[in-house]
């Protein structure tokens, strides 16, 4: 099982490395605060499986970090980020990704229309890429 750099079972640790790329003028990084994950949420997300799931707040953003199989495949890190009344900004998405998973490569997937899941009007999902998936297509 792969682990997020700087984390251990029970409580997630925040990665303090540099966040790459540029930021929008005026963006101020909010602290990420871990909150207890309600049992009902764990049950809804993972059923009876005992998989890792953490919940956080970062400013106006609500974030979940899970370690789960995607479509029955191997365990992958999965970030869900949302805001109550707006889409998270790119800087918020990028900050959450790097603070919670460090250098683990992840992607935001836009599925086929028939596979689209809209569980919340302002939510985005990021999934871990395993074994250099898709790197040949976009890394030069």
pLDDT in the model for residue 7:
44
What is the arithmetic mean of pLDDT over 4-32?
81
- Tens of pLDDT, residues 58-76: 999 999 999 888 878 888 9
pLDDT surpasses 80 at 129: yes
Ranked by mean pLDDT, the top range of 34-38, 44-48, 77-81, 130-134 is: 77-81
Left, alpha or beta for 132 (phi > 0: left; psi -120 to 50: alpha)? left
Give the three-state DSSP class for 85: coil
Q: How confident is the model at residue 50 (pLDDT cuts 50, 70, 90)?
A: confident
What's the pLDDT at 6? 42
Domain 34-138 sits in CATH 1.10.10: no
Residue whose tokens read 């569980």: 119
pLDDT for res 61: 98
Question: Would you call 30 helix, strand, or coil by DSSP?
Answer: coil
């Amino acid at each position: 099982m792969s682990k997020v750099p700087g984390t251990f079972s029970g409580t997630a640790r925040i990665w303090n490395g540099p966040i790459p790329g540029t930021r929008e003028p005026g963006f101020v990084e909010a602290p990420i605060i871990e909150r207890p994950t309600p049992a009902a949420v764990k049950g809804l997300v993972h059923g009876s499986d005992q998989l890792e799931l953490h919940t956080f707040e970062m400013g106006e953003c609500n974030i979940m970090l899970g370690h789960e199989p995607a479509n029955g495949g191997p365990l992958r890190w999965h970030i869900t980020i949302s805001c109550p009344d707006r889409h998270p900004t790119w800087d918020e998405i990028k900050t959450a990704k790097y603070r919670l998973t460090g250098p683990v490569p992840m992607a935001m997937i836009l599925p086929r229309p028939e596979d689209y899941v809209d569980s919340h009007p302002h939510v985005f999902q990021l999934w871990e890429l395993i074994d250099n998936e898709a790197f040949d297509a976009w890394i030069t």
